[in-house]
Structure 1
């Protein structure tokens, strides 16, 4: 064999070897990203029940206090308030749906109580309130139900999950809706401060908390109490407390506790496409490409602007509404296009579009994908027309808590809501009572 022929064969082998190495590296990276993201999702799912749909045919799942838009789904046991659960199935063929109500622990796992312990009435009930969409480009059927009602009433405080399924397949749950029923047995005194262990007026907010138990008649021990503090609609950075910093008489005190130190973040971005002509917020344009409307959101840019700018937002929530439309089943859907521009793809984590439209969670439904040609992360979501708050957030590999530092600048002035839930399980009892709930704001 001549030297030239040998060299030619060697060159081909080396090129193929190089291509194989590059392919292996590429596939290894993809496998790593897939396993890391799957781990994050599975870790998140271990937290118990949550408000979510298990089929893409179900959209716009909302759980709120009846008659109060954008409200936290919490009612008091001694009140006449009711919880409203509503959703759309993207079909004009209605299903024979049924719902089941289950009591949960403070961590949203089943309390494993008998139905008779926490329900008055019969558990398996039909979802009878539904309407067909009218004059919309998307076909759908709108469902809703109220709790308590003439058939079912909750008799204990605590966390509850409603499971909705097809009557013919009651074990195959289509969606779950979570809400709380609270008592008024604890005095909750809380404040938000910018004076933290990391300095004054930095990028953090410190929540200080006092719980008074005079009404309960006993001060719970560390083993009997779980207090949960959430920032806005988020669950990834929720704080879970049981051991206080100080105790005074019947009062437990958390002061400058590191678990209650939150990144302040930034104000939420907003879009409102309830009117296809007079739209507002961060929308570049709305166009009709048969058969649907498309909403193009103005892209986010890296790096973020360093200066703080206040504007009124809804702290991550959204409101479904249409111009001169009063019925939910007359409101159309649109395909909303999000984009976040940067010069490169980040290998150390994931980018999401976050907000209450995805119930505050980070999963495959609001995960943005990298477009190397356009040098941007992209996500297309089908959303019902209305006004929405959203944020671009970064989730580092292997973490469950999103970081604001990559995509935005965190400012201590940012207006945030904090939700406080106090759960009590007396030694010997089988379930957690929700003995108090409160919302506070830093402004």
Structure 2
């Protein structure tokens, strides 16, 4: 028989183990349910990548298609470089005030067939102000305090410069298909302590977290400068330009829309897209996955509340991919989510993939994303191919944790566009 003292010890050990696992678990973005749409970070009314300076105003908006003015709450968690919670920090260390507050700003749509309530969360607000740079995950909760969806953001300072150049790949096997990033980290403000261990970088293509590059150490140092001149470790598959549709006039078929049909809400049927992986580079001016909600009706006074929703019917001809890879529709409009709602379905009779998705009207960039059965992006076998001519935005963030410091702070950002690619 187990003695009471041993039971207490075993119970205490189990509690400590569970607490440790909670603090070491990598925080993943949780895609919203069907009724939550058009989740976006905005700055001065424009959708932006989830990167903000510590002094910036951070604004997160989303629509609830139930339109019942439900109560939503938010919590904020500071995370380490690897997106595990910063266990050495308390909430009071990185937040002035409180989180776990109700979102107080919401409005209802009007003059739309699809009703919805639009919620807007802004930081700083009267309850909450962020105090530290770093990775953060914002959780939106319902009235029962269940997680509805989560979004990652990066908050940074400009304490170091990150000169960045996009170059063609050095490997002849992929020279036509990849972008290589050549960059350095420079500062005269302070001296890095043990830079090979204490300095980390994260590299992003078009604001995406699903294909980001982590854990690349400096190749060498020159004084206090950290140099990254790798041939393979800092390369991205270049992809192709984003596709788009434009239904700002939701009743007329223009700009890649084959026809419009009416129902409870409008149906926007797009032309069939052919896989471009064997067709060579295609020049489409794009906005690198972004979107703009807009209704061009002259009587509209509030684009956020009077832009309607439509069923958008996508169709892709890519029989070569059948039963090999999963294909998803992605863009900033859905945060590149790999869920069943955005997964294409194959029709053997027509040899095409198709999907209907409810999307808010306006101008939308989108892409077809090839992924394995675990939802991991397979850039090498992209439906629309990879071409070095493709124009992409690249961002690099520099993380630094001094000896005996309790968290990973973000001390710099580098940015470049492959439109200025060099050999």
- TM-score of Structure 1 vs Structure 2, range by shorter chain: 0.7 to 0.9
Aligned to 1:129: 105
Aligned to 1:383: 359
Aligned to 1:175: 149
Mapped to 1, the partners of 2:389 and 2:97 lie a distance apart of: 48
Q: Is residue 2:285 matched to residue 1:312? A: yes
Contact 2:139 2:150 in 1 (8 A): yes
Mapped to 2, the partners of 1:141 and 1:277 lie a distance apart of: 23
Mapped to 2, the partners of 1:371 and 1:138 lie a distance apart of: 29
**Change in CA separation of 1:349 and 1:308 when aligned onto 2, cut-off 3 Å:** closer
Aligned to 2:7: none
Mapped to 2, the partners of 1:196 and 1:47 lie a distance apart of: 34
Aligned to 2:315: 339
**Change in CA separation of 1:47 and 1:370 when aligned onto 2, cut-off 3 Å:** farther
**Cα shift readout 1:123-154 (whole Å, capped 9, x = no counterpart):** 22221111111121112111111111222111
Q: How does 1:257-272 map to 2 (within 5 A)?
A: 257-272=231-246
Q: Is residue 2:89 matched to residue 1:111? A: no
Mapped to 2, the partners of 1:399 and 1:60 lie a distance apart of: 21
Contact 2:182 2:230 in 1 (8 A): yes
Contact 2:160 2:185 in 1 (8 A): yes
**What is the root-mean-square deviation in Å for CA atoms of aligned residues?**
2.2
TM value normalised by structure 2: 0.86
**Change in CA separation of 1:245 and 1:131 when aligned onto 2, cut-off 3 Å:** same
Q: Which of 366, 372, 386 is equivalent to 2:348?
A: 372
Q: Is residue 2:40 matched to residue 1:62? A: yes
Contact 2:61 2:118 in 1 (8 A): yes
Aligned to 1:362: 338
Greater shift in the superposed pair: 410-419 or 320-329:
320-329
For structure 2, the residue ranges without an aligned partner over 5 or more in a row are 1-24
Mapped to 1, the partners of 2:321 and 2:236 lie a distance apart of: 27
Contact 1:233 1:360 in 2 (8 A): no
Mapped to 2, the partners of 1:416 and 1:345 lie a distance apart of: 25
Mapped to 2, the partners of 1:47 and 1:94 lie a distance apart of: 32
SS of the aligned residue for 1:196 comes to coil
Mapped to 1, the partners of 2:261 and 2:243 lie a distance apart of: 21
Q: How does 1:2-401 map to 2 (within 5 A)?
A: 48-50=27-29, 52-53=31-32, 55-64=33-42, 66-77=43-54, 79=55, 81-112=56-87, 113-167=89-143, 169-170=144-145, 172-198=146-172, 202-277=176-251, 280-288=254-262, 290-302=263-275, 304=277, 306-323=279-296, 324=298, 325=300, 326-343=302-319, 346-397=322-373, 400-401=376-377
Mapped to 1, the partners of 2:53 and 2:175 lie a distance apart of: 36
Mapped to 2, the partners of 1:215 and 1:90 lie a distance apart of: 49
**Change in CA separation of 1:303 and 1:419 when aligned onto 2, cut-off 3 Å:** closer
Contact 2:31 2:337 in 1 (8 A): no
Mapped to 1, the partners of 2:329 and 2:407 lie a distance apart of: 36
Mapped to 2, the partners of 1:102 and 1:383 lie a distance apart of: 29
SS of the aligned residue for 2:292 comes to strand
Shift of 1:116: 0.9
Mapped to 1, the partners of 2:26 and 2:257 lie a distance apart of: 35
Aligned length: 391
**Cα shift readout 1:314-348 (whole Å, capped 9, x = no counterpart):** 11111212214333111110001111124466222
SS of the aligned residue for 2:379 comes to coil
**Cα shift readout 1:365-407 (whole Å, capped 9, x = no counterpart):** 3211111222211111111111111112322456723235452
Q: Is residue 2:405 matched to residue 1:432? A: no
Contact 1:101 1:161 in 2 (8 A): yes
TM value normalised by structure 1: 0.82
**Cα shift readout 1:143-200 (whole Å, capped 9, x = no counterpart):** 1111112221111111122222234x12x11122322221111110110012522279
**Change in CA separation of 1:220 and 1:322 when aligned onto 2, cut-off 3 Å:** farther
**Change in CA separation of 1:214 and 1:277 when aligned onto 2, cut-off 3 Å:** same
SS of the aligned residue for 1:266 comes to coil
Mapped to 1, the partners of 2:139 and 2:316 lie a distance apart of: 36
Mapped to 2, the partners of 1:201 and 1:117 lie a distance apart of: 47
SS of the aligned residue for 1:120 comes to strand
SS of the aligned residue for 1:160 comes to strand
For structure 1, the residue ranges without an aligned partner over 5 or more in a row are 1-45
**Change in CA separation of 1:303 and 1:179 when aligned onto 2, cut-off 3 Å:** closer
Q: Is residue 2:394 matched to residue 1:418? A: yes
